[in-house]
Amino acid sequence: MLLPKQHVIKASLVLSAAALAMSLTACKSSGNGANQNFVLNGAGSTFVYPVMSHWAQSYNDLHNNVQINYQSIGSGGGVQQVKNGTVDFGASDYALTDAQLAGMKPVLQVPETAGPVCITYNLPGLAKPLQLSSDAITGIFLGKITTWHDPILVKDNPGINLPNSKIVVAHRTDGSGTTAAFTTYLSAVSPEWKSKVGQGGAVNWPAGVGAKGSEGVTEQVRQFPGGIGYVELTYAQQNKLPIASVRNLAGNYVQPSTASTTAAIAAFSDQLSKDPRSPIVNPPASAAQAYPISILTFLLIPKDGTDQAKRTALKGFVQYIIGDGQATAGQLNYAPLPDGVKQYDQQTLNQMTVNGQPIP
């Protein structure tokens, strides 16, 4: 499935106010809802938008009385809308901590897929993909490496004629799970980054120009020669932007892909079986083919609700995502969840209630 053109992305799944009002009226429950039409509204992660769009359409094809509208507004926005109770579900590329959960009504966090945060750039004419070590990446985003002919970049790319031109860094300005994953990686590989900038969905960037959403970062990189930024892989591919290979702890320069993300997940299988909120960045040297900037993404679902038929429809959609939907994730550069995480998801999903009672 192709990602829509960027000027269309943000609005592509959002109902008009009138249509939304009509749909919500149709969703008022009575009985089990078998003959009702439902609109399930979600919001959050731009990282997961390509596969979420696919899941929404595929599920509607199977259940034409259920329409899923998902707003690609960033993980921070999705968390806030779940907290405010204005959506049926959210999506975030970072798991909420116990402290964050304590300030909200009970929320279930369900890992939905995994994928790589890729480094994309605008350097026409290179003979092969750019190679970047952790020193190069942190130096660029700290603002210490400012030209493409810097000695660290030359060392990473032997035999490649890098231009002696300015680097234009693009980063997110909104609350972003992609940023949280990327800065978690930078903090893991660079004590200087950890002490000066740290990690989180929003940080004070030392260098670069800001943009909203993965869509905005992709557009910044595409427009400016010498540009570099971090996005979900599909955004770069659909805009025909090249993707850097990143050096892992084994010393290998690895391209982001479904396979290299799966290798990163496997390297943390023990931790994930105990707590799927564990980060999967910078896997150990034993994971020779693992991509070092990989993340799990999460659905955020209110634990309880009042509309039995609509809550049942929501549970069915999530059941599809963690079940049959996993088989299609790889087509859009996302890694299917391992069995241990899927078992965790099922146990978590079974905790959904309506008016305090389990959903059949």
Instruction: Give the pLDDT score at 285.
Output: 97
> Is 234 inside a domain boundary?
yes
> In terms of domains, do 146 and 208 share one?
yes
Instruction: Give the pLDDT score at 330.
Output: 83
**Regarding beta strands 131-132 and 89-92, do their DSSP bridges make them parallel or antiparallel, or are they unpaired?**
unpaired
For the chain, give the mean pLDDT. 89
> In terms of domains, do 216 and 284 share one?
yes
- Contact criterion met (CB below 8 Å) for 142 and 171: no
- Contact criterion met (CB below 8 Å) for 313 and 33: yes
Answer yes or no: is pLDDT of 30 > 70.
no
Residue 77 pLDDT grade (very low, low, confident, very high; cuts 50, 70, 90): very high
* Separation CA 307–CA 305 (nearest Å): 6
- Contact criterion met (CB below 8 Å) for 328 and 108: no
Between 273 and 201, the more confident residue is 201
* Separation CA 325–CA 308 (nearest Å): 24
* Separation CA 16–CA 11 (nearest Å): 10
> Is 1 inside a domain boundary?
no
Answer yes or no: is pLDDT of 12 > 60.
no
> In terms of domains, do 267 and 305 share one?
no
> Is 242 inside a domain boundary?
yes
Instruction: Give the pLDDT score at 162.
Output: 95
Query: Each residue of 167-195: pLDDT tens digit?
Result: 999 999 988 889 999 999 999 999 999 99
Q: How far apart are the first and last CA of the chain?
A: 33
> In terms of domains, do 195 and 273 share one?
yes
> In terms of domains, do 21 and 149 share one?
no
Mean pLDDT of 118-138: 95
* Poorest-pLDDT segment among 4-18, 23-37, 131-145, 304-318: 4-18
| CA-based radius of gyration for the chain | 21
- Contact criterion met (CB below 8 Å) for 92 and 78: yes
Tell me which of 270, 294, 318 is where a domain ends: 294
Residues 6+ apart with CB under 8 A from 5: none
Instruction: Give the pLDDT score at 175.
Output: 84
Query: Each residue of 45-54: pLDDT tens digit?
Result: 998 999 999 9
> Is 123 inside a domain boundary?
yes
> Is 347 inside a domain boundary?
yes
Instruction: Give the pLDDT score at 21.
Output: 39
> In terms of domains, do 306 and 289 share one?
no
Tell me which of 261, 279, 294 is where a domain ends: 294
> In terms of domains, do 54 and 20 share one?
yes
> Is 217 inside a domain boundary?
yes
Whichever domain contains 143, its CATH number is 3.40.190.10
> In terms of domains, do 209 and 328 share one?
no
Answer yes or no: is pLDDT of 11 > 50.
no
> In terms of domains, do 341 and 307 share one?
yes
Q: What's this model's pTM, rounded to 2 decimal places?
A: 0.82
Between 357 and 7, the more confident residue is 357
Tell me which of 276, 294, 312 is where a domain ends: 294
Residues 6+ apart with CB under 8 A from 64: none
Residue 103 pLDDT grade (very low, low, confident, very high; cuts 50, 70, 90): confident
Total domains in the fold of the chain: 2
> In terms of domains, do 280 and 304 share one?
no
> In terms of domains, do 23 and 125 share one?
no
Residue 314 CB coordination number (10 Å): 25
Domain range holding 10? 6-113+295-358
Instruction: Give the pLDDT score at 294.
Output: 94
**Residue positions counted in the chain:** 360
> Is 13 inside a domain boundary?
yes
Instruction: Give the pLDDT score at 34.
Output: 53
> Is 15 inside a domain boundary?
yes
Mean pLDDT of 141-158: 97
> In terms of domains, do 187 and 51 share one?
no
Q: By C-alpha distance, which of 70, 40, 88 is closest to 300? A: 88
